[in-house]
Amino acid sequence: METALKEDIWIFPDFDSLGFAAAELFMAAADQAIDSRGRFSVALSGGSTPLGLYHILGTAYHGRSAWEHTHLFWADERCVPKDHVLSNYRLAYIQMISRLTIPQQNIHRIKGELAPEEAAGEYEEDLKRHMGEKGTPRLDLILLGLGEDGHTASLYPGSAPLSETERLVLPVFAEATMNWRVTLTLPVLNNALRIVFLVSGRPKAGIVREILGQGRKDRYPAGRVAPAEGSITWLLDTDAASGLEEPAS
């Protein structure tokens, strides 16, 4: 049974229940976007936490009509070919995309095989072309993970992309993993209709407490995600939430 600390922080007993709750949120956001705008534009998170969600979407929800009207983007990607073990696209493809009827032209992959700056520029043009809006595109949903250092997407503490106010997509050299990546910037994250953070495991308890429990969120990239006209939902398992105060009974 989940516990609601506040309306935007939900705690689940285990990884599986977190994944199923995330799938319900994902499909609700899809149905709402398609009902009101005829399509659903979502950016997927990288990393391992969302794999449970992607598997559930690719199996329990594979029959939904929403997939025909869904456009997949990514919050970030490693600069590797799409079949490389480190590719965020590859993880989503295996668990989800390969099982769904999402039209190929609706898969807006970050081309990690290109040079970082070229991949970033091409992805930014694709995002702008798809969203067709003047100014910063507004994605219906962006899924994000959380690193133990407070990074999210490929926005790392102290990195240049954190202070970007114009460009939507930037290349970044991730010192922590010693590889080039391409990431959405805060202007895009903070213009989303909905942000959902997925965080699992005891190693994340400290950073979750820092960001959600101690009022020190602005020190960390993940804490600077604050959509001006959107919502943020944190989906945590009990291990990741173990550093937070119990809700007043």
Site for ligand 6PG in 118-147 (CB under 6 A): 145-147
List Cβ neighbours of 2 (8 Å cut-off, separation of 6 or more).
Answer: 10, 11, 12, 13, 17, 21
Site for ligand 6PG in 148-187 (CB under 6 A): 151-154
Which lies closer to ligand 6PG via its Cβ, residue 9 or residue 240?
A: 240
Which lies closer to ligand 6PG via its Cβ, residue 35 or residue 149?
A: 149
CB of 68 to ligand 6PG, least distance (A): 27
Site for ligand 6PG in 81-100 (CB under 6 A): 88
Going from the C-alpha of 138 to that of each of 60, 120, 232, the distances in angstroms are: 28, 18, 14
Which lies closer to ligand 6PG via its Cβ, residue 48 or residue 214?
A: 48
According to the binding rule CB under 6 A, does residue 46 interact with ligand 6PG? yes
In the sheet that holds 179-184, the strands lie side by side as 76-78, 179-184, 169-174
Binding ligand 6PG (rule: CB under 6 A), the pick from 67, 71, 76, 124 is 76
For ligand 6PG, which residue has the nearest CB? Answer: 145
According to the binding rule CB under 6 A, does residue 41 interact with ligand 6PG? no
What residues line the site for ligand 6PG (CB under 6 A)?
A: 45-49, 75-76, 88, 145-147, 151-154
